[in-house]
Amino acid sequence: MLGNMMFQPLLISSMIEHAGRYHSDTLIISKNTDLSITETNWGKVRNNSKRFANVLNSLGAKLGDRIATIAWNNHRHLESWYAISGSGMVCHTINPRLFPEQLVFIINDANDKVILFDKTFLPLIKAVKPMLKSVEHFICLDAPDAAVKEQVPDVQFYDDLIAQHSEQFAWPEFDELTASSLCYTSGTTGNPKGVLYSHRSTVLHSYGICMPDSLNISARDIMLPVVPMFHVNAWGTPYAAAMVGCTMVLPGPGLDGVSLANMIDTYKVSVALGVPTIWQGLINAAQQSGTKLESLKRNVVGGSACPPAMMKVFKEQFDCETIHAWGMTETSPLGTSCQFKAKHQHLSDEEKLQIRLSQGRPPFGVDLRITDEEKSTHEIERDGKTSGNLQIKGHWIIQNYFGKAESALTADGWFDTGDIATLNEDGYLKISDRSKDLIKSGGEWISSVELENMAMGHPKIAMAAVIAAIHPKWDERPVLIAIKKPDADLSEIEILGYYADKVAKWQIPDKVIFVDSIPLSGTGKMLKKDLREQYGNVLLNS
């Protein structure tokens, strides 16, 4: 027997309608590309998103079409997000820090029909445009600007387009499993892979992140998502914010510590979210100016492990609770967040810090396990000590990559994250290592395998390994460990120069260490773990 309750598909359009109706006058503060500030609100964001939905229709975009954005966190980007997904198209957010060839690959792979871009990224658009196969319309997220038009003659301007269209638009109703947005994630080798979210997964993830034991977001919050909208949809915050009707402070291109401290103090931000590198910049700026960031009650740190010292500084100098969270593009991203249970209330500060340094426990809606071998299905003990492969399943976890028919899951339906971790009996997760050969520098991935392959292509190198070394500012940076060919005369400068035309500048290793041998496993694989143990700290005192 079925229940007798209404069925409504879980659709993203219902979130912006809710925010527009019940939180109409709640402010959205947005820093533009020219650093001016626009003050708008959920009512106007809803209305403009409907205008832009009419624009997309007038351009001939259809259900399921991919509409790309290359943009900062700002109000036009937010409006267009709701317009795109709300009208059944797929919002493909693009990371502008990708190497141009990767950018071309993902735009062609996604078959994007329209690209929306901020003025900042005009040079990028100009450079890649001739290589794009599917894009029919280029829209600059700004008011008309002759300088932009001169460089991209067929460009249209967002402000012009929405002014020409009505705010009357009936959001279409469709299956909640319909695709809503697309983010690409770096692979260890080869091209990035797309993760295609659905309306259902997005709405359920939004409920998940608002819960008190997750990020605890409410209508009383003033939220500053520093994490970009092109990084796993700013961790889902633009959706969660509409769901609860909180104020958003969108930092635009101002991601440096001084700009962030000013935004926090001026707009009384209560919760901010970003990767550790961002927080280091904020701490430095606040310490220099002397501000106590009084309004800031919580900051959410994810993307990389939060250094203990950073958490202490936030607590002791700024009276701000750090919520440590773990997740990935494939998990929407929230997998865990670190909040206490009732039984932890009476622990000492030091004991509490130890818990807070873990990545926390999963919210309802996702499940975690640790297994003993790569892609194995054999679960090991939840004892907080035995580490293994972290696997996850749940309502907002990937099933297969975009355009790939084969499942991304283990034989029994779990997603193997590539992280090595422990779980304790309460489900608190501690990430201890990474099995995927990737280095995370300031929130961006670098493939160690690709850097190794390039080094191996150098005529004077016999063997090369690239490891993630701990870095005080960027969390991790690549270090190349190389064996020279017999009698080869090769310097660090020469090999670093060799990388210059092969990878983006920020991906070039920070250091080269020449060695006589690299430890190998029984099957001839380089023992990267041993190398990390030996050389993982070489950048700390340099």
Active site residue 330: yes
Measuring CA to CA, which residue among 302, 334, 540 is closest to residue 440? 302
Binding residues for ligand AMP, rule: CB under 6 A, are 185, 232, 302-305, 324-329, 333, 359, 417-419, 431, 434, 440, 445
Nearer to ligand AMP, 119 or 440 (CB): 440
Q: Which single residue is written with the structure tokens 């993630």?
A: 468
Tell me, letter by letter, the H, E, C secondary structure of 334-348: EEEECCCCHHHCCCC
Report the residue number, 86 or 302, with the smaller CB distance to ligand AMP: 302
Q: Are 317 and 287 in contact (CB under 8 A)?
A: yes
Could you say which of 330, 444, 450, 476 is catalytic?
A: 330
Provide the minimum distance between the beta carbon of 374 and ligand AMP in the complex, in angstroms, as a whole number. Answer: 15
Measured from the CB atom, the residue of 278 and 431 that comes closer to ligand AMP is 431
Per-residue tokens: 13: 């359009």
Distance CA 2, CA 18 (A): 28
Residue nearest to ligand AMP (CB): 328
3-state SS of 453-498?
Answer: HHHHCCCCEEEEEEEEEEECCCEEEEEEEEEECCCCCCCHHHHHHH
Separation in Å, CA 97 to CA 330, 460, 464: 20, 31, 26
Report phi then psi at 235, rounded to 5. 60, 25
Nearer to ligand AMP, 20 or 302 (CB): 302
Closest to ligand AMP by CB, 98 or 125: 98
State how far the Cα of 138 lies from the Cα of 68, in Å rounded to an integer: 10
Contacts of 85 (CB under 8 A, 6+ apart): 12, 13, 91, 180, 181, 199, 202
Active-site choice (50, 113, 193, 440): 440
Closest approach, Cβ 93 to ligand AMP, in A, equals 13
Angle between helices 199-210 and 237-244 (to 10 degrees): 70
Long-range contacts of 489-493 (CB under 8 A, 24+ apart): 489/460, 490/458, 490/460, 490/461, 490/514
Name residue 491's amino acid. S
79 is catalytic: no
DSSP 42-78: HHHHHHHHHHHHHHHHHTT--TT-EEEEE--S-HHHH
Active site residue 436: no
129/395 with CB nearer ligand AMP:
395
Shortest spacing between CB 299 and ligand AMP, in angstroms: 13
User: Rounded to the nearest whole angstrom, what is the least distance from the CB of residue 533 to ligand AMP in the complex?
Assistant: 18
Catalytic position from the list 42, 81, 326, 445: 445
Burial class (CB within 10 angstroms; exposed 0-12, middle 13-18, buried 19+) of 359: buried
445 is catalytic: yes
Nearer to ligand AMP, 19 or 325 (CB): 325
**Residue placing its CB nearer to ligand AMP in the complex, 259 or 336:** 336
3-state class of 158 per DSSP? helix
Instruction: Please report how close the Cβ of residue 443 comes to ligand AMP at its closest, in angstroms.
Output: 7
CA distance 510 to 492: 10
Encoded tokens for 186: 């770096």
Catalytic residues: 185, 330, 440, 445
